[in-house]
Amino acid sequence: MKKKVIYTAKAPQPVGPYSQAIAVGDMLYCSGQIALDPASGVLAEADVKIQTEHVCRNLTAVFAAAGLTLADTVKTTCFLINAEDFVPFNEVYAQYFTSAPARSCIMVKDLPKGALVEIEAIACAPAAKTDK
């Protein structure tokens, strides 16, 4: 199977030598997204709910560029720098990941650009999209 680089200007430019996402067959592997504004590259204000909202919108844009939605997510890995942010993070996360994909949530010391939250995701295209 060939891999395809997924890119959209509606999500932030990668801040390092990686792709926004890679599609292989019916699978999409999305790099971690932080709360950067796609147009300005500026990090959203230091509030975990606001940053989680931005992260989810960025992931939505990358998924859309691959012809998918967040409902196609099978696994997320979430990174938070503050355990106290877990509940407010979940409040926003649950609004976007309504299909309740498998998930890991890890507390870390730091994230790029001083972000409070980062989410990476793996998705699988529905059979109708891949059986053509």
Domain boundaries, the chain: 3-130
The pTM of the full predicted model, rounded to 2 decimals, is: 0.93
Average pLDDT over residues 46-58: 98
Tell the CATH topology of 3-130: 60s Ribosomal Protein L30; Chain: A; (3.30.1330)
Amino acid at 67: G
Task: Supply φ then ψ for residue 41, to 5 degrees.
Answer: 75, 10
* Token pair belonging to 10: 């509606």
Q: Check whether 129 has a pLDDT greater than 90.
A: no
SS3 39: coil
pLDDT band at 131 (very low <50, low <70, confident <90, very high): very low
Six-digit token pair at 105?
């949530």
